[in-house]
Chains A and B, each alone.
Chain A
Amino acid sequence: MMNTVADDFFKKIVDDANTAVLYAEPSALKSLQVKEYLVKYANKSAQKFFSFENVENHSLGELINYDEILIFANKVLETGVEENFNIIVKEEDSLLSYNVRIYTFEKGLSFTLTLIKPKFITDKESKTPLGIQESRRRELEISNLFGIRVLDSNDSIICYLKPIFNKKGDVEDFRIDYINNRMGEIANEESTFIEGQTILEYYPKNAENGVLEILADGYLSGENKEYTKEFIFDKEPVWLATRAIKMNGGLILFSKDVTQEKAYETQLFIQNRLLSEAEHVANIGSFRWNLAKEQIKYSDNVYRLFGYDPNEFDDKYDRLLTFLHPNDFEKVKSSFKAARKNKSKTDLVFRVYIKSKELRYMNTIGECYQKEGNWYMVGVIRDVTKQIEAESVLQIKNTELKRTNADLEAFNRVASHDLQEPLRKIQMFVSRLDEEEEGRLSNRSQGYLSKIKYSSDRMRNLINNLLSYSKIDEVGEQPRRVDLNDVLNNVLEDLGERINDLEAEVASVSLPVVNGIQFQLEQLFANLIGNSLKYVNEGVQPNIKIIGNIVSGDKSLVESLLPNINYVKLQFIDNGIGFEKKYQEKIFEIFQRLHGKTEFSGTGLGLSICKKIVQSHNGTITAKGELNKGAEFTVYLPTLL
């Protein structure tokens, strides 16, 4: 072609034209849609446009990456109708618009690409007045700039990808033709650095994380694709939610940075899990009820409280009512009715039959609030069966305790009056007999009389001790500041005669002050020191030591001591007959006697009284003994608060 002079002339014109002119013929099919075109002719402008010295016999696909050109070329080839459209080409820093014309010519297609820029538009070439052309040019420049601005200022990452096919015709990668500067901010890289790379070059993991696969599928099927994936571009992981749309033979991708949302989502997920766990552990369920509707939204644990799996029963309000114990039906219904009507708080305990037909007590607390014009009730449901049962057990125990207290009072009355009365008479008659028959009784009878006296004295002691034992708990006197030195002195004075008789040695240090009831503490000291004077080794001088100091509560000392509290530690140490280690707990039990009555006098109540006094002072008493070596009693009393 073009071998005549005229042809050469035209060729020259065409060659020198500012418009890129190209002639190509279709060759083998590349794929079903895209045909391959071999370039048969290209003028100088075309060579410049495609940056090729000699474009002839190159395939068109090698030269240009504008799929729309190929697509339109196919269309023109099929229909024979001329196509005229614009493309935007990026050249260095500016975007240039080209007008593309494709029409059938001979066995192939003719392409013309005209830059829509004023320097290529002269008056000769266009009948359009210069002013209008200028304004169009500006409009275009502005719209291009505007386009870039819009894209760059967009919150999303926007990029345009072109598929790269392998020999089999599969999409094996995408080239990044354009990416806005939003990506640069995230990846800390210039978008110009990214542009021109393929997505696998730029981010190789796209082959593994499924992105390439999704995009290839989107490109080939033409369907829109959406995915959210994690990427690590710089340091921190970034979550991108992407929407890919096929456009002009490529894919346009809108990606949004959802890292924050993802974090919130994770947090929300964890919190929901925690709430669910907490409900499970606390045996609590929660609900949310749009009061205008019949449905109630329950948490999973509500279903579990009723013995069901989550969502197993109907969420209608009426269904809830069917669980109720018949006697509680009206109460619950009217309470909810009132709450719905008045938007009031509700706090109810009611009985329900759960799935297993067991009766359970439930407590529900609900509050109403308004949101976007709707009234809601939110609340909790918890299973209070155990508490209610415990309460009723407590009530029974209280009744029992009251009865025990009444019994104790009756006992006190009996002991203080009814038992004393006949005893007093026995003693009275004995004393009269003794007086009237003085010197007239046989020695034996006098002995009997002495025995009666001794026994009735013992009985009186016993009754008095029992009385004081039962009275320790009586709330009478308020605890006061008691100086234990006074207590000890009073007791030693009372016991003075016996101490002198036994020539006992009593040693003590200065004792602290406690919060307590003086007469009880005196009884405690009297009983303990009295025991030391009673249970003595024959032929050994009794030696009694009383030591007092302040210690801090420590479980290693005695189990029942509380930490963080200071105690007065009192030790009563003697060198008497002591006791075997196995008795050290037992000796505090009521009526526990380690010795025969004739050996040592005593009622078996003394140490029980001691223990009770110490306990009523919130203290502890322990005993340590060694047979025939001595005994040691240790008392811990809380110090003044």
Chain B
Amino acid sequence: MDKLRILLVDDDEDDRQFFADALEGIELNTDLHQLENGKSCIEYLLTDTDNTPDLVFLDLNMPIMNGFECLEAIRRTPHLKDLLVAIYSTSSAERDIEETFEKGANIYIKKPSSFNELKKSLKQVVKMNWAYHLNDFKKENFLLKI
């Protein structure tokens, strides 16, 4: 089985470290690439088209280009419109959650405050049978709040 290619876009170094450690902790065959803002994310996805990831984790509050703008740019790009995007943010504001789903996010994970919970959430997302879920998309099923 090929490695699951995961792209994490987050300006917070600590959070990226937690994420990487947690992903390592769930002992799945994954390949993580990390970027610091939306702009570098778009550039990466447009230039390295051979290495398009299977799953993108996108923070919302970032400098240069934030998560919302980045998400819009992804969905505007024809070959990226089906890319799986998970929002990974501190915000639990209903407004933000609504907006990201409207803009085409597939999943919403609120950054947890314990490492264990982070591992649990990532496990759930990574192991999800996406092919099955994408045919029966319901926001409620993809909203992971901890």
B114: nearest residue on chain A (CB-CB)? A431
Q: Looking at the complex, which of B45-53, B76-84, B85-93, B136-144 is the stretch in contact with chain A?
A: B85-93
Q: Tell which of B111, B112, B115 touches A435, judged by Cβ atoms closer than 8 Å.
A: B115
Encoded as 1 (CB less than 8 Å from any A CB) or 0, chain B from 28 to 59 comes to: 00000000000000000000000000000000
A421 CA to B61 CA, complexed, in Å:
11
Mark each residue of chain A from 408 to 423: 1 if its CB lies under 8 Å from any CB of chain B, else 0.
0000000011001101
Contact B116 A428 (CB under 8 A): no
- B93-123 CB mask vs A (1 if < 8 Å, else 0) is 1000000000000000001111110100000
Q: Report whether B116 and A424 are in contact in the complex, using a CB–CB cutoff of 8 Å.
A: no
Contact A416 B91 (CB under 8 A): yes
* A34 CB to nearest B CB, Å: 115
Interface: B18 (CB within 8 A): yes
Write out the residue numbers on chain A whose beta carbons fall within 8 Å of the beta carbon of B111. Answer: 424
B92 touches A428 (CB 8 A): no
Which residues of chain B have C-beta atoms less than 8 A from A421's C-beta? 90
A460 within 8 A of B: yes
* Interface contact B115-A432, CB-CB below 8 Å: yes
* A107 interface residue per 8 A CB criterion: no
Q: Is the CB of A435 within 8 A of B18?
A: no
Residue from B14, B21, B114 within 8 A of A427 (CB atoms)? B114
Report Cα–Cα, A427/B93, bound state, in Å. 20
Point out the residue from B21, B61, B113 that lies within 8 Å of A417, measured CB to CB: B61
Q: Is A425 an interface residue (CB 8 A)?
A: yes
Q: How many residues of A contact B (CB 8 A)?
A: 13
Query: In whole Å, how far is A432's beta carbon from the nearest beta carbon of chain B?
Result: 5
Q: Considering only CB atoms and an 8 Å cut-off, how many residues of chain B contact the other chain?
A: 16
Which residues on B sit within 8 Å (CB–CB) of A420? Answer: 90
Contacts of B118 in A (CB 8 A): 428
Are B92 and A416 neighbours in the complex by a CB distance under 8 Å?
yes
The answer to whether A428 touches B90 (Cβ under 8 A) is no
Say whether B61 contacts A431, CB under 8 Å. Answer: no
Indicate if the CB atoms of A428 and B93 lie closer than 8 Å: no
User: Quick check: A460 and B90 within 8 Å, CB to CB?
Assistant: no
Asked if residues A427 and B61 are in contact (CB atoms below 8 Å), the reply is no
* Residues of B close to A460: CB separation below 8 A: 113
Contact indicator A428/B61 (Cβ below 8 Å): no
Bound Cα distance from A431 to B61, whole angstroms: 24
* Contacting pair B93 A416 (CB below 8 A): yes
Q: Nearest-CB distance from A45 to chain B (Å)? A: 127
The answer to whether A417 and B18 touch (CB under 8 A), given A424-B111, A428-B115, A435-B116, is no
A428 touches B18 (CB 8 A): yes
A residues near B90, Cβ cutoff 8 Å: 417, 420-421, 424
CA distance A431 to B111 in the complex (A): 14
* A417 and B91 contact, Cβ closer than 8 Å, known pairs A425-B14, A428-B18: yes
CA distance A417 to B111 in the complex (A): 11
Taking CB atoms, residues of chain A closer than 8 Å to B116 are: 431, 435
- Which residues of B sit under 8 angstroms from A424, Cβ to Cβ? 90, 111-113
Q: How far is the CA of A273 from the CA of B93 in the complex (A)?
A: 66
The smallest beta-carbon distance between A458 and chain B, in angstroms, is: 13
Give the docked Cα–Cα distance between A31 and B116 (Å): 139
CA gap between A417 and B92 in the complex, in Å: 9
Contacts of A423 in B (CB 8 A): 113
A428 near B91 with CB under 8 A, answer no
Q: How far is the CA of A416 from the CA of B15 in the complex (A)?
A: 18
In the assembled complex, the Cα of A421 lies from the Cα of B10 at a distance in Å of 13
Taking a contact as CB atoms under 8 Å apart, the answer to whether A427 and B113 are in contact is yes
User: Given the complex of chains A and B, what is the CA–CA distance between A123 and B21 in angstroms?
Assistant: 161
Give Cα A425–Cα B15 distance, bound, in whole angstroms: 8
Contact flags (1/0) for A212-223 with B, using CB distance below 8 Å? 000000000000
CB of A437, distance to nearest CB on chain B (Å): 13
B61: nearest residue on chain A (CB-CB)? A417
The CB with the most chain B CB atoms within 10 A, among A421, A427, A428, A432, is that of A428
Shortest CB-to-CB span from B46 to chain A, Å, is 30
B62 to chain A, nearest CB (A): 12
Report how far A468 CA is from B4 CA in the complex, Å.
40
Query: Which of B15-31 touch A at CB < 8 Å?
Result: 15, 18, 21
How far is the CB of A546 from the nearest CB of chain B, in Å? 30
7 nearest CB pairs, A to B: A427-B113, A431-B114, A431-B115, A424-B113, A432-B115, A421-B90, A420-B90
28 A-B Cβ contacts within 8 A? A416-B92, A416-B93, A417-B61, A417-B90, A417-B91, A420-B90, A421-B90, A423-B113, A424-B90, A424-B111, A424-B112, A424-B113, A425-B14, A425-B15, A427-B113, A427-B114, A428-B18, A428-B112, A428-B114, A428-B118, A431-B114, A431-B115, A431-B116, A432-B21, A432-B115, A435-B115, A435-B116, A460-B113
- Contacts A432-B21, A435-B115, A435-B116 aside, 20 further interface pairs with beta carbons under 8 A come to A416-B92, A416-B93, A417-B90, A420-B90, A423-B113, A424-B111, A424-B112, A424-B113, A425-B15, A427-B113, A428-B14, A428-B112, A428-B113, A428-B114, A428-B115, A428-B118, A431-B113, A431-B114, A431-B115, A460-B113
Where the two chains meet, the residues of A that have a C-beta atom closer than 8 Å to any C-beta of B are: 416-417, 420-421, 423-425, 427-428, 431-432, 435, 460
